[in-house]
Chains A and B, each alone.
Chain A
Amino acid sequence: MKKDYRIYDHPVLGKISERKKIYIYLNKRKLVAYEGETIAATLYANGIRVLRKTEKLGEPRGVFCAIGRCTDCVMVVDGIPNVRTCITPVKNGMKIEFQHGLGKWKKKNW
C-alpha cells in the first residue's frame, strides 16, 4: 500500500486547503507535492524519512529541528548539495537526491 502521512482532516484546522498539485523527483521516483510546502514535508508525507547518510560512518539522518538550524535534513537539490530541505519550498519538476557525506556539486557555472 502507498504510504500517506498527510493530515487531511483536523478538528481545529479543518480540511486541508486546496493547493496546486505539482511533481518532484526523488532520484528517479515521481512524487506528488503541493505548492507552498517544503521538500521535507513532501518526502515525509510519502513515508520517506531517511534523507542522507553521514560522511564517515554512513549513518542515516532525517529532519531534526525543522527550522533550518541543525542541517540534519540536507539533500542534493537540482544538483546543489547541502540544501536544507525543511525550509526550502518545492518547485514543479525539482530533482531531489539523497546526499552522501558532504555531497557533490553537479550544477555547472554556479
Chain B
Amino acid sequence: MEEKELVIIGGGPAGLCAAIEARKKGIEVLLIDENLRPGGQLFKQIHRFFGSQEHMAGVRGITIGEKLLNSAIEYRTEIWLNSIAYGIFKDRIIGIVRDGKNVLVKAKAVIIATGAIENPLAFRGWTLPGVMGAGACQTMINIHRVLPGKKVLMIGSGNVGLIVSYQLLQAGADVKGVIEIMPQIGGYLVHAAKIKRYGVPVFLSSTIVEAEGKTEVEGATICPVDQSFKPLLKKKKTIDVDLICIAVGLSPLNEILYQAGCLFTYQPYLGGTVALHNENMETTVEGIFVAGDCSGVEEASTAMEEGKLAGISAVEKLKREKYDEEKQEIRKRLNDFRIGTFGEKRRIAKEQLVKEYYERIKN
C-alpha cells in the first residue's frame, strides 16, 4: 500500500490552494480528482471576481484556475486525475478507483474538498430534456462551447441565476426571462443590472407551473404567487422557450465525510447538512480536514482561503510546527468576505459550526 503524508480529495479552488500551501511548507501531497482536468468549476467562471486585491478581485475565474494549476505544478504536487475516492477507512486508508483500478493509499492527514451540487426543483415536466441546472448550462456554454437551447427561461434570481443568464446572452442565446418566487431579486444588483441592460424581464413573486413539450422542452408556463407563495393559476401564461435552467442553490457534496464518521449539523445558510469543523478546518475525526463548498456552500473566493487554512493546519499537525500568524491573516480575509446580507449570515453560521464542534466533541 502506498503511503502519503497528505491526501487531498478534490482539485477545485479549495483543494488546489490547500495543496499549494502544504507543498510550500515541504509536505508530500497527493491531490486526487475524479475529472480529467483539475480546477473544479473555476474554468467555467468567465466573469471577474469581487473583493479586494488580495482576493484576486477583478480577475476572471478561468484565469484564477490557470494560476492555481500552474502554481500546484510549480510546487511539484502529485496529481491523480480520473480518480474517485470511494471511502476513508481505519487509520485514514483511502479507497480510490484510479483509471478503473482499485488503489489503497494510507494518509497521515486528509483534506476533503469535494465541492457542491446544484439543487433540483421538481415541477410538472421537469425531467424533460431541455430542463437543466444553471451550472450545467454554464459548463455546456463556457467549456464545451455548445448552447443547450436558444430561448431560455431562468428559474431563480440569485447570483448563479443572474450570472448564467448574462453568460447565456454573451453566448448568443435569447433569455426570455428570469423568474423569482420572492418579491425581490436575490443576487447582487451589479449582476441584475447587466441583464436588465439587455432588456431581460425579471418576473418577481412568480413560479413555474410546467415545462411544456412531448419529448423536449417547447415552452414554459409560469404564474404569479400570492403572499403565502400559492400559485395564482388563473394568471398563468406560457412563454416560448426551449431551455429551462434551474438556479435554486447548491448543497454540499459530503457523502465521503459521512462515510468517514464525521459529525454533522444543519445550517440552512451554508446549504444544508454540513460537517462540524473547528477554526482550523479539522472535522470531528482527527486528521480529517474539510475546505470549500463541501464544508458549507459559499463562493470560490472563500473556498480558496479555507483551502489555504486547511492546508496550513494539516502541516501543523504533521510537522508539529506553529503558523498562528498566517492562519490569523487567512481568518481575517475570510471574515472580510463574509459581509453583507448573505455573507453576514454565513459568518454567523460558520461561528455556530465551530461552537457546536467543541460542544459535541466533548461528549
Chain B residues contacting A45 (CB-CB under 8 Å) are 144, 146
Interface centre among A12, A67, A68, A69 (most CB of B within 10 A): A67
* In the assembled complex, A83 has its CB within 8 A of some CB on chain B: no
Task: Contact check, B136 vs A7: say whether CB atoms are below 8 A apart.
Answer: no
Q: Which B residues from 101 to 145 make CB contacts under 8 A with A?
A: 117-118, 120, 127-133, 135-137, 139-142, 144-145
Chain B residues contacting A37 (CB-CB under 8 Å) are 144, 146
* In the assembled complex, B5 has its CB within 8 A of some CB on chain A: no
Task: Contact check, B148 vs A44: say whether CB atoms are below 8 A apart.
Answer: yes
* In the assembled complex, A101 has its CB within 8 A of some CB on chain B: no
Task: Contact check, A63 vs B136: say whether CB atoms are below 8 A apart.
Answer: yes
Chain B residues contacting A68 (CB-CB under 8 Å) are 34
Chain B residues contacting A64 (CB-CB under 8 Å) are 120, 131-133, 136
* In the assembled complex, A5 has its CB within 8 A of some CB on chain B: yes
Contact of B145 among A7, A62, A87, A89 (CB under 8 A): A7
Per-position contact with B for A11-48: 1 when CB-CB < 8 Å, else 0? 11100100000000000000000000110010011000
Distance of A70 from chain B, by nearest CB (Å): 8
Task: Contact check, B139 vs A67: say whether CB atoms are below 8 A apart.
Answer: yes
Task: Contact check, A63 vs B129: say whether CB atoms are below 8 A apart.
Answer: yes
Distance of B97 from chain A, by nearest CB (Å): 13
* In the assembled complex, A91 has its CB within 8 A of some CB on chain B: no
Chain B residues contacting A69 (CB-CB under 8 Å) are 117, 253
CB closest residue in chain A, given B139: A66
Distance of B172 from chain A, by nearest CB (Å): 6
A83–B133 alpha-carbon span in the complex (Å): 20
Task: Contact check, B170 vs A10: say whether CB atoms are below 8 A apart.
Answer: yes
Task: Contact check, B118 vs A50: say whether CB atoms are below 8 A apart.
Answer: no
Chain B residues contacting A67 (CB-CB under 8 Å) are 117, 135-136, 139
Chain A residues contacting B232 (CB-CB under 8 Å) are none
Chain B residues contacting A13 (CB-CB under 8 Å) are 46, 142, 145
A110–B25 alpha-carbon span in the complex (Å): 45
Number of interface residues of B (CB under 8 A): 34
Task: Contact check, B133 vs A62: say whether CB atoms are below 8 A apart.
Answer: no
Contact of A89 among B34, B36, B142, B150 (CB under 8 A): B36
Task: Contact check, B171 vs A10: say whether CB atoms are below 8 A apart.
Answer: yes
Chain A residues contacting B262 (CB-CB under 8 Å) are none
CB closest residue in chain B, given A62: B129
A104–B271 alpha-carbon span in the complex (Å): 38
CB closest residue in chain B, given A73: B129
* In the assembled complex, B279 has its CB within 8 A of some CB on chain A: no
Task: Contact check, A51 vs B129: say whether CB atoms are below 8 A apart.
Answer: yes
Distance of A92 from chain B, by nearest CB (Å): 17
A67–B137 alpha-carbon span in the complex (Å): 11
A66–B43 alpha-carbon span in the complex (Å): 14
* In the assembled complex, A55 has its CB within 8 A of some CB on chain B: no
Task: Contact check, A6 vs B35: say whether CB atoms are below 8 A apart.
Answer: no
Q: Which B residues from 212 to 230 make CB contacts under 8 A with A?
A: 215-216
Chain A residues contacting B147 (CB-CB under 8 Å) are 5-7, 44
Contact of B46 among A12, A16, A44 (CB under 8 A): A12
Task: Contact check, A5 vs B146: say whether CB atoms are below 8 A apart.
Answer: yes
Task: Contact check, A63 vs B172: say whether CB atoms are below 8 A apart.
Answer: no
CB closest residue in chain A, given B138: A66
Per-position contact with B for A69-110: 1 when CB-CB < 8 Å, else 0? 100100000000000001101000000000000000000000
Contact of B133 among A59, A61, A65 (CB under 8 A): A65
Asked whether A41 and B144 contact (CB < 8 A) given A7-B172, A50-B216, A67-B117, the answer is yes
A16–B145 alpha-carbon span in the complex (Å): 8
Asked whether A44 and B146 contact (CB < 8 A) given A65-B133, A66-B140, A87-B35, the answer is yes
Given A63-B148, A67-B135, 14 new contacts (CB under 8 A): A7-B146, A10-B170, A11-B170, A44-B148, A45-B144, A49-B148, A51-B129, A59-B127, A62-B129, A63-B140, A64-B131, A65-B117, A65-B132, A66-B139
Chain B interface (Cβ within 8 Å of chain A)?
Answer: 34-36, 46, 60, 117-118, 120, 127-133, 135-137, 139-142, 144-148, 150, 170-172, 215-216, 253
Please list 19 pairs of residues, one from A and one from B, whose beta carbons are closer than 8 Å in the complex, sorted by A's number.
Answer: A6-B146, A6-B147, A7-B171, A10-B171, A13-B142, A13-B145, A16-B145, A45-B146, A49-B216, A50-B129, A50-B215, A59-B127, A60-B129, A63-B136, A64-B136, A65-B117, A65-B133, A66-B132, A67-B135
